[in-house]
Amino acid sequence: MAETMPKHIAVIMDGNGRWAAARGLSRSQGHLAGVEAVRTLVRECRTMGIPYVTVYAFSRENWQRPKTEVSFLFDLFLRFIREELPELLRQDIRLAFMGEKSDLPFAVRQVMQLAESKTAGCASMTLTIALNYAGREEILSAVRRAVADGVPADSLTDERLRSYMYAPWLPDPDLIIRTSGELRLSNFLLYQGAYSELYFSDVLWPDFGPAELQEALRSYASRTRRFGKTDAQIQSGE
């Protein structure tokens, strides 16, 4: 029997700026509204018992945005973690991060470390925030570190390579959702998403609520994941 519920949902939260522009608001206000949508997503997934949720909050390419927007995003991130920590603990949610930590502001790294250690014992769900993340860089730096460790070429298996990535313990996403009508991955989970089901929604991220999530889950449940096999093989459970 095929799994009808994803174990790991990963979300490319896109469209905050357009949501704000459509209302004559600033991009910052769009990002603020986006944070509310994250809270809703986390609550819904926790209630449904989805064990892993990953959100793409800031890509390495996002550094190219105006300085004021970048610093607003980091302030917002700091505030979100600080405010959300008691609630995450109450809901037994572990918080984790993936991305290049080394070039993040010190205050951000400090809060990340605090949140990770405080929630390390939480086991009902894992919320992973992809921050300063880029899929290509993740693969490249994993290869570089494996080479630097002297791993022989023929020992560099899938499992070994993954051990050098940001979150080796995280299962591959079953479902990747992207909002705002854009049909691309924007450097998100390039390695881990090899067999993920993709779901694209036209809704802008701040408007992505419980109904939109249910729609994505319905779509997921209706699909056949073949992993290269035939339908007959899948039906016979081979």
In angstroms, what is the minimal distance from the CB of 12 to Mg ion? 9
User: Binding pattern to Mg ion, positions 9-48, x when CB under 5 A?
Assistant: -----x----------------------------------
* Residue 14 is a catalytic residue: yes
Question: Which residue, 160 or 200, is less far from Mg ion as judged by CB?
Answer: 200
Query: Residues 128, 54: contact at Cβ < 8 Å?
Result: yes
In angstroms, what is the minimal distance from the CB of 152 to Mg ion? 42
Q: Which residue's beta carbon is nearest to the bound ligand IPE? A: 17
* Residue 16 is a catalytic residue: no
Query: What is the gyration radius of the CA atoms in the chain, in angstroms?
Result: 18
Query: Residues 58, 73: contact at Cβ < 8 Å?
Result: yes
Question: Which residue, 14 or 138, is less far from Mg ion as judged by CB?
Answer: 14
The footprint of ligand IPE (CB under 6 A) covers 12-18, 56-59, 62, 73, 180, 182, 184, 186, 205
Question: Which residue, 12 or 217, is less far from ligand IPE as judged by CB?
Answer: 12
Q: Residue 224 burial (CB < 10 Å; 0-12/13-18/19+)? A: exposed
With CB under 5 to 8 Å by kind, the binding choice for 115 among Mg ion, ligand IPE, none is none
In angstroms, what is the minimal distance from the CB of 61 to ligand IPE? 6
Question: Which residue, 14 or 212, is less far from Mg ion as judged by CB?
Answer: 14
With CB under 5 to 8 Å by kind, the binding choice for 16 among ligand IPE, Mg ion, none is ligand IPE
With CB under 5 to 8 Å by kind, the binding choice for 62 among Mg ion, ligand IPE, none is ligand IPE
With CB under 5 to 8 Å by kind, the binding choice for 58 among Mg ion, ligand IPE, none is ligand IPE
Q: Which residues are catalytic?
A: 14, 62
